[in-house]
């Protein structure tokens, strides 16, 4: 083979090798580009999930659903929904029993709750702000908290913020809602709790006539005024029946729907 022919063959081999190297580089670039697009897509999806106005969050308790809100005040949102349902009397849900806003959370231990409540209650109850109030309490999957102790301590904090804050169990301006789920205490201060039937979406759409025909929708204080036993034996029997009815109502309600807590 002449030198000229050897050089041409050598050149073809080198050209072929360089062409393969270029193809491999193009494949590598395609792989990098695909990986970048995939990563950008994942970041975008994750960001969109974080930016959702409403997002479901695991509550850790049966018949309780947490809805996380973004850019919306839970108290105003829930109050607006209940106000609309109360005015129109249109039933808009079958499975939601109650809807409660959650404005703050802390550990469900007495010292943590007291420390947190001292600051949390200020916008409503610290002088010069004042108002009548009641406290409603419910615990789920928790046995170490005492209902009486929690209500007593929180009422004491409200009174210390302004002595003019008074308890009113019939028609309070504010209702302090305490919902304990496992080791988490959820707190909120709501308006029109009695008017909106304890924020019960099934009851708030009923007319006044329906409410009068069904005494079970009355408040606990009003119900106690309806029946007034004259003897200790009758009183004891009445309390047993009342407790049995309350247990039955709570079980029946939980089987029909869930509570929605908006945070």
Averages of pLDDT over runs of 10 residues in the chain (263 residues) are 52 52 60 76 64 76 83 90 94 89 94 97 96 96 94 97 96 96 94 95 83 50 34 43 43 52 62
pLDDT value, residue 49: 56
For residue 30, give Cα distances in angstroms to 20, 39, 42, 111, 203.
Answer: 15, 14, 18, 59, 61
pLDDT value, residue 231: 40
pTM exceeds 0.75 for this model: no
Fold designation for 5-13+52-199: THUMP fold (3.30.2300)
pLDDT value, residue 230: 36
pLDDT value, residue 86: 94
Question: How does DSSP assign 77-126, residue by residue?
Answer: HHHHHHHHHHHH-----SSEEEEEE--EEEESSHHHHHHHHHHHTHHHHS
pLDDT value, residue 70: 82
pLDDT value, residue 209: 62
Could you tell me how many helices (H) and strands (E) the chain has, helices first?
A: 8, 9
CB count within 10 Å of CB 117 equals 24
Residue 241, Ramachandran bin (φ over 0: left; ψ between -120 and 50: alpha; else beta): alpha
The DSSP output letter for 129 is -
């Amino acid at each position: 083979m002449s030198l000229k022919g050897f050089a041409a063959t050598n050149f073809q081999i080198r050209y072929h090798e360089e062409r393969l190297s270029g193809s491999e580089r193009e494949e590598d670039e395609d792989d990098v580009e695909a990986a970048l697009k995939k990563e950008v897509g994942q970041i975008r999806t994750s960001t969109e999930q974080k930016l959702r106005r409403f997002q479901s969050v695991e509550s850790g308790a049966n018949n309780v659903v947490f809805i996380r809100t973004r850019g919306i005040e839970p108290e105003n949102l829930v109050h607006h929904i209940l106000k609309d349902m109360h005015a129109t009397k249109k039933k808009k849900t079958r499975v939601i029993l109650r809807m409660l806003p959650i404005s703050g959370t802390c550990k469900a231990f007495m010292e943590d709750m007291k420390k947190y409540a001292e600051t949390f209650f200020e916008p409503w109850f610290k002088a010069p702000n004042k108002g009548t109030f009641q406290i409603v309490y419910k615990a789920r999957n928790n046995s170490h908290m005492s209902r009486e102790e929690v209500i007593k301590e929180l009422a004491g904090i409200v009174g210390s913020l302004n002595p003019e804050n008074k308890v009113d169990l019939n028609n309070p301006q504010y209702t302090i809602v305490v919902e304990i789920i496992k080791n988490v205490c959820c707190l909120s201060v709501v308006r029109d709790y009695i008017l909106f039937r304890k924020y019960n979406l099934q009851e708030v759409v009923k007319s006044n006539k329906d409410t009068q025909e069904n005494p079970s929708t009355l408040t606990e204080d009003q119900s106690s005024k309806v029946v007034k036993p004259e003897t200790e034996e009758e009183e004891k029997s009445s309390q047993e029946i009342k407790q049995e009815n309350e247990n039955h109502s709570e079980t029946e309600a939980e089987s029909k729907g869930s509570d929605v807590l908006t945070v």
